[in-house]
Amino acid sequence: MKVLIFTEGGNGIGLGHIMRCMAICEAFKEKNVMPEFIVNADSSVKDALKFKGYKIMNWFKGPCAENLARGADIAIIDSYLANLDFYKRISKTAKLCAYLDDNKRIDYPKGIVINGSLAAGRLSYPKRKGVVYLLGTEYTPLRKAFWD
């Protein structure tokens, strides 16, 4: 199974998206699936990425992300910086897309929208064909250290 996780972090952005995606990465690894972890970041995040399988690159520009997503079973995107066009391009390339969202930032294309915040249900997400919403704290990604 080919799984890609796209996120961002570093100076000026912080590590929140990276930590959340690392929790998802740990869950896949628990099921013997090794995701590719693709981070748009500066070198300040290297210490936080303590596992193999990550790439630091600017995946917003050009066809880089689409080329990586070609043939992917799952593509997960956790970003405040990616625009709607980027999400649409990846949703056409990967078999299934999941989008981590905190505040109903955009009208996501087909796929799964995950918002694990306490107030997620009050954001009035639009009901759309081809979009599944997983809302509420039961969908908050937790790192393996907090599973038990």
**Cβ(111)–Cβ(99) below 8 Å:** yes
pLDDT in tens, 114-140: 999 999 989 999 999 999 999 999 999
Residue-range definition of the domain harbouring residue 23: 3-146
Asked whether the predicted pLDDT for residue 14 surpasses 80, the reply is no
CATH number where 24 lies: 3.40.50.11190
User: Which pLDDT belongs to residue 51?
Assistant: 62
Count of C-beta atoms within a 10 Å radius of residue 35: 23
* Spatial distance between the Cα atoms of 104 and 102, rounded to a whole number of angstroms: 6
Global pTM reads 0.92
DSSP string, 60-117: TSTTHHHHHHTT-SEEEEE-SS--HHHHHHHHHHSSEEEEE-SS--S---SEEEEE-S
* Structural domain count of the chain: 1
